[in-house]
Every structure is written in structure tokens, then in C-alpha cells.
Chains A and B, each alone.
Chain A
């Protein structure tokens, strides 16, 4: 019964509306979205393309701000932060994992992870982080010399090196084959279960939802369902 183990709320989305464009071209990406996430939860935001899930993730990551409503993370009002505060928030609070990894091609795996030393004071040892994701032997390789799965694991190592409170993933397995995807998901689940990190993933893959503590299903910019998984499956148990 994992849900009983954690109590503290870390994220609160309250009546968030996000609009893009103006006049006739106005698009409503998020329509009165509200939900909460507790510390240490493994959350999957599920929905089809255009459901508004990435918009939620971007606002959570401090890369975008709502048109109205509030986004509160760990007691801080992210929705009313200025540019400087948002940068600090992203540096201290969030680790981001992208679908296409976003490694700097001119830096080696180790250097990509070591990059965070320039951002946070107490960054973790990059070699240790690569070891944690099983890539110690690839530390001197450039991104172009690694497979997609390896690059995504470097990306996770980079996110972890900051020791963030929340790890956000935007379709982190979207560009990977199923076996590599499983390895990446396993890694993320392990982070949540063993290190009590809050992991929030955005995906359209309903199978991943089976591994989550909480599933937020979105459609047409609205939250259609928030479901708690009493007994989330381990990644290896799910049939992919």
C-alpha cells in the first residue's frame, strides 16, 4: 500500500487555465485544471495528442506560466515567479527528462552531467550519477556515439545530479524501443521507490499508467479523471 506511505503534498494545480494566441486564433490548452501530487509519488499524466498534458508539464517545470489559476510547488508559487526566480526554481527543484534527450552534442556524457555543477552548488558527482544509470563505461562518449536509450539515461543522470525534488519526464520513452524504454522506466520507478523522488511523467502510453501511484487522465485540456493505484505494478510486471 504505497499511497499510505506518503502524506506531504508537493504540487498543487489550482484552477489553471492556459490560453495560446489571441482573438480567433485563441486556443485553450488547459481548461480549469486542478490536481495535487504528494511527495514521493510516481505520477503519470495520460492523454492523447492535444490533450494539454505537455502544457501542464511545462508549467510544472517553470518553462511556462498559466493564464490564470495557480501552480504551487513545495510551498512556492511558481505561477507568479519572475524570469530570475523561475531559473532558480528550475535549477533547484526540477529535473527534466525530454523525449529527445536534449544532450549537448559537443559535450561528452560525463561533461553533460557535470554541466549541472555550473547550476547548483551541491551537484552530485557526475561519474557516480552515470554509474547509477549504468553508463560508467560510456562516460567519455559523445551523444552521437551512444544509442537512444543510453542518451536518455545520461539525460536522467543529468537530472539526478542536481538532486531535484521533482523529476519531470515528457514522453521519456517515446523515442525508444520497448526494451530500452523498460530500462529507462525501471530506473525512474527505482528513483521514486528507493530515493523517494517525486516523478511526474507525461505520456500517451496507457501501459505506463499501470506502474504509477497516481494517474491523471486529460482530454481536450481538461482533467477527466484522477485515479490512485493502490498497488502499482513494477515495470517488469507489465506486459509491454
Chain B
């Protein structure tokens, strides 16, 4: 019978139950939407790591022999290790796509994740395994032959299988600003499949390899050289042709020493991989450049940053939303129970047990909130979550990444249901504590009392509307707090959404109008020489720039944990690649000093005049430099120095890009020696804008919630206020108040609460946005900008919603049954 009563009452109070249902649904939905794809990403990532025996650490150096590998393997903490060679090649027939080629003779650590074709097998001849994403983008199939170029040498192999590279969960070509699947690929192949003889010959042809250099690295060459010297042939007198014919006599395996293993990926159970540095350094006699952990590998780090950002979002936003939802649910349930007071009194008078009555009323909120939470779970996980996963799958590669749930989902649902049921219990208990005879009569309205506002000297100057509403707010503080917080959260999201547009526009102008003062960017390929680069610069005009991966520290040979991986930019100071200070004003770098970006300087607590130490990623030679400028760049952190200073230090200068003030150069430069790609600045800007679409997606969600929040909260606050004052409104109506006047009375309070919410929420909008941009990885340093316009538009938006919500009550007030409402009033 009680169940029937519950169903009928739900039907009669449908609006109220629907609002609780919606709030419980929205709160869980928001959490699930952000979390479900993350749970799946972490699980599939862990699965991939297990299947591929993903490395925990990487040792990079100029060359590791078998002895070095053995020493690493023998370290107590190291489980598995192997050597790898890594070169960056390109595919001429495939739009000069960038290929990260890994050569190895064993597959123990960081194996490719198998997708289709043949299993990864290094004994298979003439075979390569390539990224599935690239093969799909170019419609390449298993069994097709594929040609790529390294150091001017063409290599053709058969595609044996398609894979995902666990170290490249995120990958983009150097020439691209964003992920373009057609432009980037990872290839795994057996070392012996690499044509070492042709490669060495090409090095000799280009003058990149002399006998002296070869002797430095190869015992075999040294022995040969000594033998030649016995015949009176000195290394200086050896001609290029003689050297080339000498190469023909050298066995293939010896030639491979010209292409040494530069990486040792290894696995370990030690959590802090860099704590092994001393042991590794001792084992290798200090002959290595860098020890990295997973945080230092770009293809893993970018993905990890992205997932960490989602984790933050999954907690931050739902927490705000859940808090407001709970406030709304609690106040609604409280009102409902108060309305049921006489019925509770009747049930008690009939002799029903206290527990039975409480359980009966708890079941209302329990069922509705549980149902809402479950629907929210389904929509959030399988519709929104899957949509988010789908969007991110276009940028990141984790096989099997979809949506999954974990224990936290149950926790959130329990929290919502428990809070909702708990609020009902508290309200119910309050009524149960009243004597049955008393609860048979409706509760007397809250007594009026003097309020703080009355002490204002101009209190008597307020009109009826103002005085009445101020007193009402004092009576319903929780309701008022809910209204203010709800609109504050809405305002915060709204400001964040609107100012993000300004911030991104600012970042775009900053990058493409201030920092990048060029019309065309010409990327050089790996074969370019300084001479060729300078020739192109003299021909086209412009500025050569070298970018290189470096490690920075505040002392020489700092421990890995005290270093940061970043980028070094070497400019010629010709004003085409420019620098801005922390306030985005254009500035110049003084010769003899180095510029460091703001975030990096903050990380090391560095200021102008301090000294910074750095080394190129692949070399173990440290340089020191005096900081002459703290600069700011929205999308790149690192060091900048002048070419003259770079060369003075004795470092090997090799430009990677030419910035030119000329336009439409692609037709002339297509196929030109040393040129990899040509981009118009306008195209770069377009790519940048496309990249920002991902942020727009998140902001779109913000905007929706920013609109939903004030509507739900203000409607609820208005609804509660309306029902609490129902008898008063009926009285006013009897006295002759027009419907519009009563609505105004109701709306004005909502409007005040909204104005307070707008004032309270406004400053947090930019904070939220800054947090969002900052959580996007270390390299981003967007300056959140919001002007009067953003605040005005957001504020106006919230206030319009507030006013419109007031109109929702117009009909209710018009239909208010005065006779029925005023019956039995006490």
C-alpha cells in the first residue's frame, strides 16, 4: 500500500522528482563522461605495456657495445635490457612523411604492439613492421613494398605487419604543428636488414666519414689502418676512392659499427628509475648522455599529461557540480518531507512503526536518485565518454581504447544516493520528533524576526518588495546559498568559456604576429649542410634557426632528477623569429647571454643574471650560459641563444629551419636539395587553430553546463521559495496583487542571488581557465585574458537566464488556487 502511495505521490510531484532525477543524473554523467575514457586508457595502456614489455628507463649515448649492454643487464635492479638504433628517415613517395626507424637484433624490451599481419619476428627477411595509423592513412597493406630514404640512401622493404609503437602513444611529424597521420610513422626492423655498406659509402661520399673518424669507433678499422701503415699508406694519403674500395672488403657486421646502438631501453621494478643513475653511470664508466624515464619520452609524456588533465577535470568539475546538486537535492527533499508532515502525523496516529515510516520516505529519494545516477552513468559512460574517447583516439594511440568503469564510479553513485537519502532521513527525523498530535497539523510558518539588514540606516527607505525579500532570504539561508553558489558556478564556467576564445585568439596573434615575424617556414631534411642552408638563406633572404633537444640544470652534470628536458633554439637574431617578455612585449636577446622561458625559469627558480647549464640530448658535454632574458612563449618552453654565441662555445651548428619574409616558395623549393617541407605562416596559423578545436570541444561542454547550472539552480531555488511562500502568495493574490507583481516579487530575489553569484563567480572564471591551460602540459604557457566584454557577456547571460526562470512561475502563480491553499492555515 505504501508503495502505491509512493508511486502516486511521485506522479503528483513529478516536477520535483524529475529535478532530483536530473541533478543526480547530471552529476554522475559529468563524472562518468570525463572518467570512463581515462579508466579505459589506463587499463589498455597497462595491458599494452605488459604485452610489449614496455621499458621503464632509457639510456641514450653515442654508442653502446655488447659489453655495455651486459653491464646494464647485470645491474641488480634491471630486469631486461636491449640495445636499439634509432634513425629518422623519410618516405619520399609518401609526401616526405617522417619515419622513426628502430633497428635491433633482439626484441625484449619495448616491443611493438601487434595489430595485424605477421607477428613481430626479427628473423623474417626483408621485413618491416609499421604503424597501423600510417598504413591506414596511405592505404598500405601487409605485403606491400615500402621505400624510405635515410641519409640520401633508398631502402625498400616489405610490410610484414602493422603495429602500434608503445613509446609513440602520441606522435606528430616535426614539420607539423598537429597530429597528421599521413606524415608520421614508426618502423621496426632487424638491424641486419639495414644496408650498412651502402650507408657507410654514402657517408664517405658526402665527406661525413673519414678513416680517422671510423678508426675512432672501430677496432677493426684501427687494425686495418695499422696494416696499411705498414705498407707506407698513411691515413691522410688515403683518397676517397681508396677508402670506398676498402669498405667493400670490410665484413657487413663490422660496418654496422658506423651506425652504433645509441639506446638501451630497460625494465626495472624500481619506481624512481632515475635513482639508478649512479649504478648505471658506474657500470658504463660515465659514457652515456642521458638517462630518461617514461616522463621524459615525448610520445608517452604528452599522453600522460592529457590523461592527467582528464583526471583533474573528472574530479574538479563533478565536485563543483555534485556539491551544488546535493545542495539542491537536500533542500528539495527537505521541503517535500515538510509538505508530508500531516500525512506522517496521520500514519503515526494510525500506529505505524517509526521505522516503517522512515523507510517509506527514504525510498522516495533513494529510488529517484539511484535511477538518476544509473541513467547518468549510462549516458556519461557510453554516450559522452565514448564520444570523448573517440575524439582523443584521433590524436593518441592506445590499442583497444574505449570506455570502462572502475570502483570510483560506484563510489560517486553511492555518494549521491547516500547524500540524497541522508538529507531525506534528516528531514524525516525532524518531523518524526514532533508529537503525532502536533504533526497532524501543518507546521506553523517560520516566525519573522529582526534581521541584520534592518540595522541599515536606510532600511525604512526600502520598498515592500525589497524588505519582504530580504526577510525571506534571512528565513531561507540554505536556499539562498544554493542560489548564489549555483549561479557563481555557472558564471565561473561562462567566463571561462568566453575568455577562452579571447585567450586562444591572443595566443594565436601573439605567436603569428609577434613571435613568428616571417611569411614562410622552410624545414630542412636530415641531409642539409650548413653551407646549403646558408646558400638557401642568401638566395631567399631570412633567418636560419636550429632547434635541438637539450637537458637543462642549474649545475653541471646534475643528477637526472635535477634536470629538465627541453628545447634549445639558436637564432641569427635577424628579427624573423622574435622573443617577447613576460608581458608579451617584443624584446631582444643581448649577445653573450641566453633567454629562458618563464615557466622553465620558475621551475628552477632562475632570474636574469643567473647561470644555467645545458647539454645536447645526444651528447654528454655540458655548457654554461648567463641568463639575459626571461621570455614568454605560449606554446614552447626552452632556451634561446644567438648563433654567434652557440658557435663560440664550439658546438656543432646545423640549422633545422629557415624563416623567410618571402611568400609562395613551395613551387620553387619542391624537391630542392636539403628542403623537407615549406609552410606558409598562414597555413601554420590554420593548423594552430585546428589544434585548438580540441579545447573548444571541452569548452563547448563548459558552456552547456554553464547554461544548465543557473537554470536548474535558479529554477529550484525559485520553486522552493515559491512553495515555501505559497500561502503568502495566495494571501497576496486575495489582497489583489496581480500575477505579474507576485512573479516580480519572486524574480527579484532570484535576480539578487544571481547578481551575488555573478560577482562571486566572475574572478574564478579566469582562474579555472588558467588551471585548465596549465594542466595541458609543461610546454603550454597561455596567458588567460578576459576583458570587460567577457565579464559583461557572461554576467548578462546568467542574469537573462535568471529573469527567464522567473517567467516559468508566471503560470503557476496565475493558476494558484487561493481557496485550496489558504484552507486550514494556522
Contacts and interface: CB of A to CB of B under 8 A. Distances in A.
Do the two chains bind?
A: yes
A54 B818 CA distance: 13
Contacts of B824: 100
A195 interface: no
A107 B735 contact: no
A142 B739 contact: no
Interface string A99-122: 010111111100100111111100
A88 B825 contact: no
A91 B735 contact: yes
B819 A58 contact: yes
A45 B736 CA distance: 23
B739 A102 contact: no
B464 interface: yes
Nearest to B472: A106
B446 A105 contact: yes
Nearest to B825: A100
B471 interface: yes
B737 interface: yes
A162 interface: yes
Interface residues of A, number: 39
A116 B467 CA distance: 14
A6 B728 CA distance: 36
B662 interface: no
A116 B445 CA distance: 21
B514 interface: no
A118 B447 contact: no
Given A104-B468, A143-B448, A87 B731 contact: no
B468 A107 contact: yes
Interface in B438-456: 444-449
Contact of A104 (B474, B728, B736, B822): B728
A173 B472 CA distance: 29
Interface string B128-171: 00000000000000000000000000000000000000000000
Given A102-B731, A106-B468, A64 B819 contact: yes
A58, A104, A114, A162 interface centre (most CB from chain B within 10 Å): A104
A175 B739 CA distance: 30
Contact of B826 (A54, A96, A100, A106): A100
Contacts of A139: none
A61 B825 CA distance: 18
Interface in A62-121: 63-64, 83-84, 87-92, 94, 96, 98, 100, 102-108, 111, 114-120
A120 B736 contact: yes
A144 B450 CA distance: 12
Interface string B720-739: 00000001101111111111
A92, A108, A120 interface centre (most CB from chain B within 10 Å): A108
A80 B448 CA distance: 38
B822 A87 contact: no
A118 B825 contact: no
A165 interface: no
B53 to A, nearest CB: 72
Contact of B449 (A100, A142, A162): A142
Interface residues of B, number: 35
A94, A144, A162 interface centre (most CB from chain B within 10 Å): A144
Contacts of A54: 819
A98 B822 contact: yes
A210 interface: no
B824 to A, nearest CB: 8
Interface string B445-484: 1111100000000000001110110011011000000000
Contacts of A153: none
Contacts of B467: 107, 111
Contacts of A117: 464
B540 interface: no
A116 B735 CA distance: 8
Contacts of A204: none
B464 A118 contact: yes
Interface string A133-161: 00000000011110000000000001000
Interface in B807-826: 814, 818-819, 822, 824-826
Nearest to A111: B467
B734 A162 contact: no
Contacts of A104: 448, 468, 728, 731-732
Contacts of A88: 736, 738
B501 interface: no
Contacts of B739: 83-84, 87
B244 interface: no
Nearest to A114: B464
A118 B469 CA distance: 14
B454 to A, nearest CB: 10
B822 A102 contact: yes
Interface in B73-124: none
Interface string B386-405: 00000000000000000000
B741 interface: yes
A44 B6 CA distance: 43
Nearest to B447: A144
A96 B734 contact: yes
Contacts of B814: 83
A54, A61, A107, A145 interface centre (most CB from chain B within 10 Å): A107
A46 to B, nearest CB: 20
Contacts of A116: 735
Contacts of B733: 63, 87, 90
Contacts of B448: 104-108, 142-144
Nearest to A119: B736
B825 A102 contact: yes
Contacts of A90: 733-736
A217 B446 CA distance: 38
Contacts of B741: 118
A10 to B, nearest CB: 18
B446, B448, B738, B826 interface centre (most CB from chain A within 10 Å): B448
Nearest to A155: B731
A119 B735 contact: yes
B819 A63 contact: yes
Nearest to B727: A102
A111 B464 contact: yes
Given A100-B825, A102-B822, A118-B464, A87 B445 contact: no
Contact of B445 (A91, A105, A111, A114): A105
A98 to B, nearest CB: 6
A119 B818 CA distance: 17
A23 B562 CA distance: 86
B447 A87 contact: no
Interface string A34-74: 00000000000000000000100010010110000000000
Contacts of B826: 100, 175
A53 to B, nearest CB: 13
B539 to A, nearest CB: 84
Interface in A217-239: none
A209 B465 CA distance: 40
B736 A162 contact: yes
Given A83-B739, A115-B732, A144-B444, 20 more contacts: A58-B818, A58-B819, A63-B733, A64-B819, A88-B738, A90-B734, A98-B822, A100-B824, A102-B730, A102-B731, A104-B728, A106-B475, A107-B448, A111-B467, A118-B737, A119-B735, A142-B448, A143-B447, A144-B447, A145-B447
15 contacts: A58-B819, A64-B819, A87-B736, A98-B731, A98-B825, A100-B825, A102-B825, A103-B731, A108-B448, A111-B467, A114-B464, A115-B735, A118-B464, A119-B736, A143-B448
Interface of B: 444-449, 463-465, 467-468, 471-472, 474-475, 727-728, 730-739, 741, 814, 818-819, 822, 824-826
Closest 4 A/B residue pairs (Cβ): A91-B736, A144-B447, A106-B471, A142-B448
